[in-house]
A and B are shown apart, each in its own frame.
Chain A
Amino acid sequence: MLQLVLFNVTNGLIIGAFYVLMALGVAMILNLSNVINFAHGNFLALGGYFAFTLLPYFGFWGALIAAPLIVAALGIIIERLFVRRVYNRDPVYSLLLTFGFSFIIQDVCRYIWGASGLPLTVPASLSQGLSRDLFFITGYRVFMMAVVLIAIVGLFAFLRYTRTGVRIRAGTLDLDTVAALGINVRLLRSLNFAVGIYLAGLAGVLASGQIGLNPNMGDDLLLPAFIAIIVGGVGSLTGTLLGGLLIGVASALTTVFFPSASEAVIYVIMALVLLVRPRGLFGEEGLLT
């Protein structure tokens, strides 16, 4: 029993970690540019596929570093050519645009890499179990958690300690004033978009090593990512972080005791949080109103 609970808690933390990576990216783009990126899960899939293609040439480590950067570069191109044009318009435009990109990217993946699943081979050094009792905690799981942790700490440090990060946080509440202080807000939005997409690409590489690749692999993460943002409160990345972990662990623990409710539980959590705090746990006032 203890093993079962432990197994599911680790599972929950890992799933939660992916929710968090997805949700942080979606939230960054939403907070600064008021665009809900429906294609975020497809950028995640692209991260995995790029890694798959790069792996034979650069090895796992090279792919882990390069694939998310390439996805981020692609994100910048799409932002500059398309997404930028719908800023300051009715949100319907950005919803339709990113929804369209979601389908396009998915079909491109299917066309290039095929509709069936593909494996991403991880180094043997990472695929062993930690011990005989904890056989289910493979080195790769620990590795994933470590990389996610580094990415999250890196993101928060970037936002807290660099001028660009400070400007992004300022722009979340008042982009006009950031512009009036001489900051190139177009560049700021591009960069911010790229950081969000980078996180998706990174999540894609990591997830592929665990569950393999398929063109829809990001889809199941998108809705929980939105819920993590809503539970945590729009405008607060700390809230998004805690929201993602909360629904990840809650969903995994429900799997132990009441498996059929494991998906419903995240919606129950959302409903309860919104009943008590309509702005979410850490939501900023005045956003998305």
Chain B
Amino acid sequence: MAVAMSALQAEGLNTFYGKSHILHDVALTVAEGRVTTLLGRNGAGKTTTLRSLVGLTPPRTGRVRMFGVETTRLPPFRVAARGIGYVPEGRRIFPNLTVHDNLLVPLQRTGPWTVARVYETFPRLAERRHSRGRQLSGGEQEMLSIARALLLNPRLLILDEPSQGLAPLIVREVFRIVAQMRREGISILLVEQNVRMGLEVADDAYVLENGKIVYAGPAATLAADEERIQALAGATAENWTLDA
């Protein structure tokens, strides 16, 4: 047992979709109370990594430990019930349910987050509480997806591309919330395509390329490596920052 317990520790993950080998010996650690970002270009295996961690696409080999307990073979609902919040790619709002009903779905673990507090933190959701999921804008859906995961009162929050398809103003709002979560002591694993923003908010960073980890280290070190960032972000390198 390590001295400082990590929120999440994965070793040697090999994950397949049918016969195609997607993840190759992926290892990553999320230190407790810190923000870790997982970067990589489209198709690098970021979403597959997250799905492997939470049990939705179990790895064929490898081990996942969360807060010191092995979770590799647990079904997704048992992983989540241990306090692992997951905000999936594409938000996965229940389109047929109202905003309020979406918020009633998560398991009620004890903790600071209640539906009332969600409405305080996200006033827009309170205004739209009777609207159906499918009627929300992309930004509202993202807020709802994050709020829904927070109602689980997670110890670790896993976010898959929360800024995808959102206007810059909304993206900043999302990252403001991520920073707030961190101040409240929630460990965070963030997958981002928006490399600069991911690095700005993160303490630690991993870079995934073709299903392999090619960088593991401090986010600041990676942020200083302009060449690498250009390579990661590609032609669409974006320059938004938190205080822009």
A residues touching B (Cβ–Cβ < 8 Å)?
A: 163, 166-167, 169-170, 172-174, 176-186, 284
Contacts and interface: CB of A to CB of B under 8 A. Distances in A.
B107 interface: yes
Given A177-B94, A184-B77, 7 more contacts: A163-B105, A170-B96, A173-B94, A179-B80, A180-B80, A180-B86, A181-B80
B33 interface: no
B107 A181 contact: yes
Q: Find the residue from A182, A184, A185 having the highest chain B CB count within 10 A.
A: A182
Given A172-B96, A173-B95, A181 B56 contact: no
Nearest to B91: A177
B27 interface: no
B104 A183 contact: no
Nearest to A184: B77
B77 A169 contact: no
A182 B107 contact: yes
B101 A176 contact: no
A254 to B, nearest CB: 34
Nearest to B75: A179
6 contacts: A172-B96, A180-B56, A181-B107, A181-B148, A183-B77, A183-B106
B92 A174 contact: yes
Contacts of B105: 163, 166-167, 170, 178, 181, 183
User: SS class of chain B's interface: helix, strand, loop or mixed?
Assistant: loop
Interface string B7-24: 000000000000000000
A163 B107 CA distance: 10
A236 to B, nearest CB: 9
Which interface class (under 10, 10 to 19, 20 to 34, 35 or more) fits B?
Answer: 20 to 34
Nearest to B151: A181
Interface of B: 54, 56, 75-77, 80-81, 86, 88, 92, 94-97, 101-102, 104-107, 109, 148-149, 152
A176 B76 contact: yes
Contacts of B101: 166, 169-170
A177 B88 CA distance: 8
A261 B94 CA distance: 42
B76 A179 contact: yes
Given A163-B104, A166-B105, A180-B88, A185 B97 contact: no
Contacts of A163: 104-105
A174 B133 CA distance: 13
Contacts of B86: 180-181
A181 B104 CA distance: 10
B104 A166 contact: yes
Contact of B92 (A166, A169, A177, A185): A177
Contacts of A167: 104-105
Contacts of A174: 92, 94
Contacts of A166: 97, 101, 104-105
The 4 closest A-B pairs by CB, nearest first: A182-B107, A182-B80, A181-B106, A179-B77
A178 B107 CA distance: 9
